[in-house]
Chain A
Amino acid sequence: MNLTIEKLSKRYGRSAPMSLDQVTLKLTPGIVGLLGPNGAGKSTMMNIIATLMKPTNGRILWNGEDVARNPNQLRQQLGYLPQDFGVYPNLNAVEFLQYMAALKGVPSKPAQQRIAELLHLLNLETAAYRPIGGYSGGMRQRVGIAQALINDPKLLIVDEPTVGLDPGERVRFRNLLADLASDRIIILSTHIVSDVEATASSIALINQGRLIRHDLPERLLTSVEGRVWDWVIDHDALTAVKQKHLVSQSIRRSDGLHVRVVQEQSPSRDAIPASPTLEDAYLNSIFSTP
Chain B
Amino acid sequence: MTLNAIYHTARADFLERVRSSGLILMLGLTAYLSYAFVPPLDASYTAVSLGGTRIFYNSAGIGLMFGITISMFVSLFAFYIIKNSIARDRQTRVGQIIGTTATSKTAYLLGKWASNVLFLSIIVGVMSLMAPVMQLLRGEASQIEIIQMWLPIWLLGLPMMSVVAGFALIFESVPFLRGGFGNVAYFFVWVFMLVVLLGGFEQGQILPDPYGVMEPLIQIYQELGVEEISLNLLGEKTSENEPVYQWHGRNWSATFLLGRLFWLGMGALLAVSGTLFFDRFNPANANAKKSSRVEKWWLALQSRLFSQKIDMGGKPVRQLTRLPHTTFKFQPLKLVLAELRLLLNGQPWYLFAGLIGLTIFSLVTPLADNGIGALYPLIGSILILSMLGAREPFFHTEQLVYATPRAHSRQLLTAWLAGVMVMLIFVAGYAVKLLLVGEMALLSGVLTAALFIPAMAMCLGTVSGTRRLFEIVFLVWWYMAINVTDGFLSWINFVNPQGGMGYLLSTLILLATAVFIRYAKTQK
Residue numbers of A with Cβ under 8 A of B are: 47, 50-54, 72, 75-78, 80, 82, 84-92, 94-95, 98-100, 102-108, 110, 112-121, 125, 128-129, 131, 133-134, 144, 147, 149, 151-152, 154, 179-180
Contacts and interface: CB of A to CB of B under 8 A. Distances in A.
Given A88-B395, A116-B310, A105 B341 contact: no
Interface in B278-330: 286-287, 299, 303, 306-313, 316-317, 319-323, 325, 327-330
Contacts, number: 147
Interface of B: 286-287, 299, 303, 306-313, 316-317, 319-323, 325, 327-331, 334-335, 338, 341-342, 345-346, 391, 395-397, 399-407, 410-411, 522-524
B310 A112 contact: yes
Contacts of B310: 94, 112, 115-116
B345 A95 contact: yes
B524 A53 contact: yes
Given A52-B522, A99-B338, A116-B313, A76 B395 contact: no
B338 A98 contact: yes
Contacts of B395: 86-89
A110 B329 CA distance: 13
A125 B312 contact: yes
Given A85-B396, A88-B342, A121 B308 contact: no
A100 B287 CA distance: 25
Contacts of A91: 341-342, 345-346
A154 to B, nearest CB: 7
Given A95-B341, A152-B325, A114 B320 contact: yes
B288 to A, nearest CB: 12
Contacts of B323: 106, 110, 114, 151-152
B335 A103 contact: yes
A105 B330 CA distance: 5
B400 A80 contact: yes
5 contacts: A90-B345, A94-B307, A104-B328, A104-B405, A152-B320
Given A94-B310, A105-B405, A50 B399 contact: yes
Contact of B400 (A72, A94, A131, A147): A147
B403 A50 contact: yes
Contacts of B399: 47, 50, 52, 80, 82, 85
A103 B404 contact: yes
B440 to A, nearest CB: 36
A179 B325 contact: no
A173 to B, nearest CB: 13
Contacts of B345: 90-91, 95
A102 B320 contact: no
Contacts of B524: 53-54
Contacts of A114: 320-321, 323
Nearest to B287: A134
B405 A76 contact: yes
Contacts of A133: 286-287
Nearest to B323: A152
Nearest to A54: B523
Question: Across chains A and B, which 4 residue pairs bring their CB atoms closest together, nearest first?
Answer: A90-B346, A86-B396, A152-B323, A105-B328
Given A51-B522, A89-B346, A78 B319 contact: no
A75 B403 contact: yes
B365 to A, nearest CB: 34
Contacts of A117: 313, 317, 320-321
B400 A85 contact: yes
Nearest to A152: B323
A152 B322 contact: yes
A75 B307 contact: no
A106 to B, nearest CB: 6
Given A90-B345, A92-B307, 12 more contacts: A77-B325, A91-B341, A91-B346, A95-B341, A102-B335, A103-B410, A110-B321, A110-B327, A119-B312, A147-B400, A151-B328, A179-B319
B316 A85 contact: no
A102 B331 contact: yes
Given A86-B396, A117-B320, A103 B325 contact: no
A110 B403 CA distance: 21
Contact of B334 (A108, A119, A131): A108
Contacts of B303: 92, 129
